[in-house]
Amino acid sequence: MQAPSLVRPAFDLEQANHDLSSASAEDVVEWAVARFGRNLIMSTSFGAHSAVMLDLVTRIVPRIPVVFIDTGYLFPETYRFAEELKRRFHLNLKVYVPEMSAAHQEAIYGKLWEQGEDGIERYLQINKVEPMQRALDELGAAAWLAGLRADQTDHRASLRPVDVQNGRVKIHPILRWSAQEIDAYIEERDLPYHPLYAEGYRSIGDHHSTLPTTPDMDPRDGRILGQKKECGLHLPLSEGEDQSLRSSGL
């Protein structure tokens, strides 16, 4: 099946970031909806603070497609949390899974996450990157709302409210929010944390590579896939392609 052609937005990327530099998270979402309409999606991991973006975005655009990548290795609590939030927000949820099941992968490759950086790269490609790329293609997404925050990783600190990743516009409404602002929003809106958050899991991924952390640690120190703090979904395919896209005038 041929992927639908992307809608090339007729706007200046630098100007968009200038205009949105002091905008509220709600204003950024409204800008994205006005700009991309039906070609806009959002993603969620149903992680520790995922209720924040789901509440924020669905209040503005209730039926937005919400992409959830189910690696097959998530905590039972994550699956139950996903069901809870799906009901609470009446989500238009689009679940994507790897083309090769967890059992199939382990039969052929063994436990890839235990096989050094090369194994981890293959693991991420099979379980996260390819399903997300397939979701974006099948849903005809020209733009993608993601709940990344600048205080989470060095890569995320380099992002802007609007960027381009692998040919699609990536929009980060809560990029500049602090952990304190996240907690305040959760309290104000009476939103739930992931059930494992109370047990010290502050950054939650696959069960075989996620550990609890103490308050004095970086939350993403609990993500132990090699030296990585990024799961691969939010990185460009290559440095060269990223540079090319940044100069494309989108």
Label residue 249 exposed, middle or buried (CB < 10 Å: 0-12, 13-18, 19+). Answer: exposed
Catalytic residue, candidates 231, 233, 245, 250? 231
**Distance linking the first and last C-alpha atoms of the chain:** 27
Cβ count within 10 A of residue 178: 12
Q: Closest Cα to residue 248, out of 51, 2, 7, 11?
A: 11
**Helix (H) or strand (E) segment spanning residue 164:** strand 162-165
Active site residue 231: yes
How far is it, in rounded angstroms, from Cα 126 to Cα 117?
A: 14
Q: Read out DSSP for 21-65? A: TT--HHHHHHHHHHHHGGGEEEEE---TTHHHHHHHHHHHSTT-E
Contacts with 48 (C-beta within 8 Å, 6 or more apart), sequence order = 193, 194, 196, 197, 201, 202, 203, 204, 219
Active-site residue set = 231
